Amino acid sequence: MNINGIRAIYRFEMNRTRRTLMQSIISPVLSTSLYFIVFGTAIGSRMGEIDGISYGAFIIPGLLMLSLLSESISNASFGIFFPKFSGTIYEVLSAPVSPFEILAGYVGAAATKSLIIGALILLTARVFVDYSIAHPFWMLAFLLLTALTFSLFGFIIGVWANDFQQLQVIPLMVITPLTFLGGAFYSINMLPEPWHTLTLFNPVVYLINGFRWAFYGVADVHMGLSLGMTLMFLLICLTVVWWIFRTGYRIKP
């Protein structure tokens, strides 16, 4: 394995983050802080508990997942799209690095950025809301799996996109609505039929509820099902990435 090749790609992507610190790190943390102020403090103080949890604490896993999904996809998609857009991707492909090493560099950097943002959001949430973590190991496991899986998904979007408009279509028009409709701000058990049943077809429901279980030990769906859905999506993304490198889809002339 070419460790130096992985390190070079990884360091290049992390250096780009340091050059755009305001946009890459500070902006998403500040945006999420506004949610905590409005929904957690202002509105949450006037709402009752959900499953024995204060509303401000209840929305923390959902808000964290909202930021994690969007930032993982954004970081990974732009990381591979820009070299493809500028033509420098051919220098990477001609270098003595394997597809796995290229993937490890780009996806590893994107996942690292997302984990940093997730950790900062958790620290920021403590300022506004009192919360506890019932299962720290599973919280970290879901955090890592989600960052890795959606960084892979973002890598796929970056390869697929032909322009900056396509790069934003799926995150803005698909992922963000699914997250808001996936129980980020409410329990899906509060929904009447047939909306409750229809919501179960939303894959983000399982991500948010797995994360919420790790925090408070309660969820609308079983933790095992949440973990299984996350691993299944990870496997699908790995399969698609393998196909991309095998066929050279949109990365080779």
pLDDT in tens, 68-126: 999 899 999 999 998 888 888 888 888 888 889 999 999 999 999 999 999 988 888 88
Question: Across residues 33-51, what is the average pLDDT?
Answer: 74
Q: What is the model's pLDDT at position 45?
A: 65
Cis peptide bond N-terminal to 28, omega within 30: no
* 190: in domain: yes
Sign of CA dihedral 65, 198, 230, 154: negative
AA letter at 79: G
* 252: in domain: no
Alpha helix (H) ranges present in the chain?
Answer: 3-19, 21, 27-35, 55-58, 60-86, 89-94, 99-128, 136-160, 164-170, 176-180, 195-199, 203-216, 223-247
Q: What is the model's pLDDT at position 128?
A: 82
pLDDT for residue 1 is more than 80? no
* 253: in domain: no
Q: Give pTM, 2 decimals.
A: 0.91
Q: Give 140's pLDDT tier (boundaries 50, 70, 90).
A: very high
Number of structural domains the chain divides into: 1
- The DSSP call for residue 117 is H
pLDDT tens digits for 154-199? 999 999 998 888 888 988 888 888 988 888 888 998 888 888 899 9
Domain interval for residue 186: 3-247
* 181: in domain: yes
* 88: in domain: yes
